[in-house]
């Protein structure tokens, strides 16, 4: 039989009949690799036509969920693992992807029956040694060291597991294609076969995906579109905390996060992350403030630290860790124009303590106050918390769910809360917390300093 050769972009999956130096689709240079994508003469389009049904009659029963024994993991999944779902778990090397799945499958094996853990990177002996350290010893947890998809599917049909884990998708290949494991065509074909297995048999499937230098799942973006749920592990190598975030979830919210702490015995749940993030907060130091951010339905209190110092270069630096660099530049311009602070010749460094990332604008007021506090060398009262979005005119705008944030602050011992004046009336019944409404950045700084 004749084989068909195409050049496939390893970044976006674009295919060309000839080699190109630059991908016309995504613009990447030297990303097209030669792949043998299939053989002529095979017909895979034949199938049985299914008639359309009314939306009121489609599906019938609601989805069935199984708890994984880890409350933070179940929270991110939307309440548990859905039967027949395909879940992609991504993250940097060593972040804890395999550790979390090993702990979750241990509980699933004890409650549901046999669970098949397929590893293409580690031997069964290595997994057993790691499992012994984490006290993962469920007899129904079956380990298979295999990389050929056809052999994996054979074992699945023989064992009939309640849950299947494939670690990782970049190491598995199918003999139907002659390209190398981890290539675009192999990843796409293997993921498609696993999706058909999950939907056809009702077996939930976890697949682990490597992350590239730019933070995206290695392989084509179509991989994220094929699966039901995409989970990303975030965390700094220098911090023990790990955050599991849902980027896509067809069976739940994408706003929920799970917080874990890496210890010798594996990943441990963090029941009260706000208290943990503020445990080492310095008191009486300029440039340190606390803000309340919202991750899904969970309020998080985190510390913002700013350092403003005279620049020794012609162009002052604006460095951020955990917040958007452009957002800081915008807020510094507001401080200069609307408040009158001279920051043009100052280096400004802003950090979110604990390795957390702040993506919502409710932290704007805290960023402004932290920079002003460090520049003026004036401390903020330790039991004061900041809430509010800052506009280009220097106004403090309202935020969502202020009462949830205020209650979390009161629970952790804060006695004063600066928030937008428009949100003060929405917060009711929070004992021990003084609510101070502000309409502008200038008014907020006057009440603090």
Q: Which residue has the tokens 């350092």?
A: 307
What lies within 8 Å, CB to CB, of 156 at 6+ separation is 116, 164, 197, 203
Q: Is 201 annotated as a binding residue?
A: no
**Cα separation of 419 and 434, whole Å?**
10
Q: Is 94 annotated as a binding residue?
A: yes
Using CA atoms, how far residue 253 sits from 76, 231, 250, 401, in Å, is 8, 12, 8, 17
Q: Is 96 annotated as a binding residue?
A: yes
What lies within 8 Å, CB to CB, of 80 at 6+ separation is 65, 66, 67, 68, 74
414-449 burial by CB neighbour count: b if 16+ within 10 A, else e? bebbbbbbebbeebeebeebebebbebbebbbeebe
**Residue 241 · residue 270 · CB < 8 Å:** yes
**Residue 235 · residue 115 · CB < 8 Å:** no
For the chain, the residue count is: 449
**Residue 434 · residue 416 · CB < 8 Å:** yes
Question: Is the sign of the CA dihedral 88, 93, 95, 99 positive or negative?
Answer: positive
Name which of 73, 75, 138, 72 is nearest 108 in CA terms. Answer: 138
**Cα separation of 121 and 110, whole Å?**
25
Tokens read off for 97: 């992807």
Q: Is 161 annotated as a binding residue?
A: no
Using CA atoms, how far residue 395 sits from 360, 364, 388, in Å, is 17, 11, 10
Q: Is 98 annotated as a binding residue?
A: yes
**Cα separation of 245 and 259, whole Å?**
9
Q: Is 54 annotated as a binding residue?
A: no
**Cα separation of 332 and 318, whole Å?**
10
**Residue 412 · residue 301 · CB < 8 Å:** yes
**Cα separation of 244 and 90, whole Å?**
10
**Cα separation of 228 and 249, whole Å?**
6
Beta-bridged to residue 22, according to DSSP, are 29
Q: Tell me the binding residues.
A: 91-98
Q: Tell me the binding residues for ATP.
A: 91-98
């Amino acid at each position: 039989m004749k084989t068909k050769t195409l050049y496939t972009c390893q970044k976006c999956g674009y295919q060309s009949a000839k080699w190109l130096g630059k991908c016309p689709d995504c613009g990447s240079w030297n990303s097209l690799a030669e792949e043998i994508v299939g053989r002529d003469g095979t017909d895979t389009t034949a199938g049985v036509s299914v008639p359309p049904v009314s939306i009121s009659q489609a599906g019938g029963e609601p989805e069935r969920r199984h708890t994984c024994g880890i409350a933070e993991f179940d929270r991110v999944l939307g309440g548990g693992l859905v039967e027949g779902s395909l879940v992609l778990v991504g993250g940097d090397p060593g972040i804890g992807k395999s550790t979390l799945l090993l702990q979750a499958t241990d509980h699933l094996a004890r409650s549901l029956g046999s669970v098949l853990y397929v590893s293409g990177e580690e031997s069964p002996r290595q997994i057993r040694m790691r499992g012994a350290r984490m006290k993962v010893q469920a007899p129904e947890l079956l380990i298979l060291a295999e990389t050929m998809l056809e052999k994996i599917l054979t074992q699945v049909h023989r064992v009939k597991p309640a849950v299947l884990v494939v670690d990782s998708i970049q190491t598995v290949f199918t003999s139907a294609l002659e390209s190398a494991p981890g290539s675009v065509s192999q990843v796409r074909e293997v993921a498609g076969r696993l999706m058909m297995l999950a939907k056809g048999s009702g077996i939930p499937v976890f697949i682990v995906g490597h992350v590239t230098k730019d933070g995206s799942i290695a392989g084509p973006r179509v991989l994220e579109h094929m699966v039901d749920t995409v989970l990303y592990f975030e965390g700094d190598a220098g911090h023990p905390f790990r955050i599991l975030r849902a980027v896509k979830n067809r069976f739940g919210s994408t706003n929920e996060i799970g917080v874990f702490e890496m210890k010798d015995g594996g990943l441990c749940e963090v029941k009260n992350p706000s208290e943990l993030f503020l445990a080492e907060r310095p008191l009486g130091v300029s440039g340190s403030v606390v803000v309340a951010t919202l991750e899904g339905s969970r309020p998080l209190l985190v510390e913002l630290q700013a350092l403003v110092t005279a620049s020794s270069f012609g162009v002052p630096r604006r460095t951020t860790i955990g917040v958007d660099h452009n957002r800081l530049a915008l807020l510094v311009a507001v401080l200069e124009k609307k408040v009158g602070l001279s920051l043009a010749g100052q280096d400004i460094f802003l950090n979110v303590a604990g390795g957390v990332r702040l993506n919502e604008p409710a932290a704007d007021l805290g960023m402004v106050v932290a920079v002003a506090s460090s520049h003026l060398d004036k401390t903020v009262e330790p039991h004061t918390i900041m809430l509010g979005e800052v506009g280009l005119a220097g106004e403090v705008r309202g935020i969502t769910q202020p009462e949830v944030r205020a209650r979390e602050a009161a629970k952790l011992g804060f006695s004063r809360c600066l928030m937008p004046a428009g949100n003060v009336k929405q917060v009711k019944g929070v004992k021990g917390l003084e609510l101070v409404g502000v309409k502008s950045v200038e008014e907020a700084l006057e009440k603090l300093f």
